[in-house]
Structure 1
Amino acid sequence: MRLGLQVSRFAFEGAPASTGATWWAVARDADQAGLASLWVMDHWFQMAMVGDPGEDMLEGYTTLSHAAAVTERIELGTLVTGVTYRHPGLLLKTVTTLDVLSGGRAWLGIGAGWYEEEHVGLGVPFPSTGERFELLEDTLELAHRMFADDDSRFEGRVVTAERPLNHPQPVRRPPIMVGGGGERKTLRLVAQYADACNLFDTGLGPEGIPRKLDVLGGHCEDVGRDYDEISKTCLARLTMDTGAPLPEGVHGHSVEEAVHRLGRLGEAGIDHVICSMANTTDHAAYDLVAEVVSRVA
């Protein structure tokens, strides 16, 4: 099993003056702890289920570029980019640039998008659900073209690109993760276009995940895709207990508790768990993270 870290809050102590240095330390700690991947939310406003919409939120790809400069091995992605946030060709050029500058460590994390409030707030169009899924499928098709140096004219359902030139090419073709567990559309797109799915431990748990993966397997059969080619990832809340105070309601895990919980997710079919920690800025937490990484490997 591989472990990753998702950072969803940037309201660091002393922010915004401290934000750059704090994020630098988080990225370095994650890299040195042996985590496989580092992810940020790609939102403009904070999500209501995490904090107040007015809480500090950084733009995703600028943040990842900063992390790329101070890390050596860890892979980098957004969990996930709403397809409405950037024009598809620009998004793919951005991901390619991150891949080149990081030496081949970028992911394309993408989904249909859902956060209407931030679109309305910043004046960005927010199409209907059906239109967003059409845009998502066009973007996935265009990604396969642009990442393979095919600049022939592309005409999709809603996107037309006369010459989708993408130079330089990625150092490594960025793996594509489609976020969400929608059984009719989202998991079909995973089967058809993606290298990884992303499910949520919260709400599904080890008991509910196998059903989603069974649905994914059915879609793979329908499109002639090898189910085993797809990495099964999930986002889980997992905070290591260093003895320092934690936010109210947050349970700190020992190494043994973390290994047990991750083992249950592994038994459910997950091979890459992306952890959302409540104490990402606690340097001491990463010594425990490193032990967990070693144990679950």
Structure 2
Amino acid sequence: MEHRLPSPCVVILAGPGASGKSTWAAERFAADLIVSSDRLRALVGAGEDDIAASADAFALLDVVVRQRIGRRLTTVIDTLGLDAERRRRWLELARDAGMACVAVAFDTPAEECRRRNRERAEKRIPADALTSQLRSWAVAKKELPGEGYDDVLEPTAARVVPTVFVESTAAQARQSEAPVGLRFGLQLSSYTHPAGRAGMAEWVRQVAERAEAAGFDAIYVMDHFRQIPQVGRAWEDFLESWTTLGYLAACTTRVRLGTLVSGITYRNVAHLGKIAATLDVLSGGRAVCGVGLAWFEAEHKAYGWPFPPVGERYALLEDALRLLPVLWGPGNKPFHGKLLDVPDTTCYPRPLQEHLPLLVGGSGPRTLRLAARYADAVNVFGDVAAVRKAATRLGDRPVELTHLSTTLVGKDHEDLDQLIRTLRPRNVNPAKYAESVNAGTTDDQIGRFRELSEAGVAEVMISLPDLDTIDTVADVISAFRV
């Protein structure tokens, strides 16, 4: 049986000495989550078996537990847990912090505890002290169920995973029983890697080849000129988007290639149309032209571009959505829009695709109205409810819904826990980080993407916090190949 806990949470271990508490905790939790009375006894005394230091160790344990819970950090309290008053205080601290609190009851038979204790080379408990603990445990195990915990678990019947995971078990089962198809795109949002700029071309090529092998249908790149604050620092290595797509066209054979999305203020729109048409020809008809309102004012200022008011940018976006198909079509008829005036729309060679897809990025009402009128697809963010709300604003014209999210995928819960511990920024609570990257196992993600598909999404674009997980994502993608 697996028991999942939210993170942060408080886990109180309760049981006599030699009942297996420390071993159980070490197998399931990172060491920095465990507050151990034995380790604190070594800190304030001559060692973990320095009984004379017990009072100081327990006083320090109470301070550490109070501070950790006050900061809403997952806290595993590894001590006897036989003192009802202490347990009550820990539970109250958890409730005051709005945290889940469970007790794990180690009801190991008395003779087994005595046998383990006799075989210990270190930290052997005096026989009379262990007998006293066993008596106290007989009382405590009856009290635990009525003390108000979220649950009282048996260690042999529980596998505790103290992290927030995406959890869509029912949807995962639906996908297994009645599979639906879904396209997958990989978004590249960062280019920092140990080899630096000298090894960047080879690294990008390897990522693209692995993405194709994993089954991704498309590769998208952000259209920025320096890293955005949501991802990293301005001075981190960051490749220009359309140049990168041209390189990817030579590195791949199957995946579609596009921007997610090109800021409409960054280029002359007619020039953007020429760039996209060229990519389509050189990639064998695999280009996708993503466009959006442009939001990064600091980037505009840094590069000396004007940053028009939002109304003007919406007018420019509408002109672009009307102009680009004209550029990609036959002839050279002029275009006159609200802001754009293009006397000659000659663009040869024309795209290989009879209709080069136009994708609009954004979930705002005005953006959705423009997408509903002019675009082939619209890319939105958010949960299933947000996707359904966006779908209601697209009207009757066929417009595909696509969805972008940061996604961390682990092979199983242990793998996912390790990824979260490794990748989370310093001073960021593991739970908050897990939530921010939609952390989940392959089964969890299959369920999440099934729910998005049921809400109307035709393609999910995912940004991976760790590109080494591409091969794991392959198992998710394969579940949607019908």
The answer to whether TM tops 0.5 is: yes
Counterpart for residue 461 of structure 2: 274
Counterpart for residue 239 of structure 1: 408
Work out which of the residue numbers 182, 198, 219 in structure 2 matches 1:17: 198
Query: C-alpha distance in 2, partners of 1:171/1:82?
Result: 24
Please state whether the residue corresponding to 2:305 is helix, strand or coil: coil
Work out which of the residue numbers 360, 365, 374 in structure 2 matches 1:193: 374
Structure 2 residue 208 is matched with structure 1 residue 27: yes
Per-residue CA distance 1:7-64 (angstroms, 9 max, x = gap): 1011122211121111111111111211111001000121111111222211100111
Per-residue CA distance 1:230-252 (angstroms, 9 max, x = gap): 11101012122264754114545
Q: Post-superposition shift, 1:69?
A: 0.3
- AA at the equivalent of 2:387: I
Note the 1:140-179 alignment, pairs <5 A. Answer: 140-172=321-353, 173-179=355-361
- AA at the equivalent of 2:223: D
Per-residue CA distance 1:252-284 (angstroms, 9 max, x = gap): 53221110111121122212100110112x1xx
- AA at the equivalent of 2:280: D
Work out which of the residue numbers 74, 78, 86 in structure 1 matches 2:259: 78
Query: C-alpha distance in 2, partners of 1:265/1:40?
Result: 22
Note the 1:30-109 alignment, pairs <5 A. Answer: 30-109=211-290
Q: Post-superposition shift, 1:164?
A: 1.0
Per-residue CA distance 1:114-160 (angstroms, 9 max, x = gap): 11101100111211111111111111111111111241111111111
Work out which of the residue numbers 202, 207, 217 in structure 1 matches 2:385: 207
Counterpart for residue 181 of structure 1: 363
Query: C-alpha distance in 2, partners of 1:25/1:19?
Result: 10
CA root-mean-square deviation: 1.4
Query: C-alpha distance in 2, partners of 1:149/1:136?
Result: 22
TM-score (norm 2): 0.57
Query: C-alpha distance in 1, partners of 2:270/2:385?
Result: 39
Query: C-alpha distance in 1, partners of 2:377/2:261?
Result: 12
- Give 1 or 2 for the bigger CA radius of gyration: 2
Per-residue CA distance 1:160-184 (angstroms, 9 max, x = gap): 111111100101132010000111x
Gaps of 5+ in 1: none
Counterpart for residue 476 of structure 2: 292
Q: Post-superposition shift, 1:83?
A: 0.3
- AA at the equivalent of 1:235: L
Please state whether the residue corresponding to 2:261 is helix, strand or coil: strand
Q: Post-superposition shift, 1:208?
A: 2.0
Q: Post-superposition shift, 1:291?
A: 2.0
Identity of matched residues, %: 38
Query: C-alpha distance in 2, partners of 1:208/1:123?
Result: 35
Query: C-alpha distance in 1, partners of 2:334/2:407?
Result: 45
Structure 1 residues 101-110 or 127-136, which shifts more? 127-136
Please state whether the residue corresponding to 2:346 is helix, strand or coil: coil
Greater helix percent: which structure?
A: 2
Counterpart for residue 445 of structure 2: 258
Larger RCO: 1 or 2 (CA < 8 Å, sep 6+): 1
Q: Post-superposition shift, 1:216?
A: 1.8
- AA at the equivalent of 1:257: D
- AA at the equivalent of 2:393: V
Counterpart for residue 123 of structure 1: 304
Structure 1 residues 83-92 or 140-149, which shifts more? 140-149
TM-score (norm 1): 0.91
Query: C-alpha distance in 1, partners of 2:256/2:266?
Result: 22
Please state whether the residue corresponding to 2:372 is helix, strand or coil: helix
Q: Post-superposition shift, 1:286?
A: 2.9
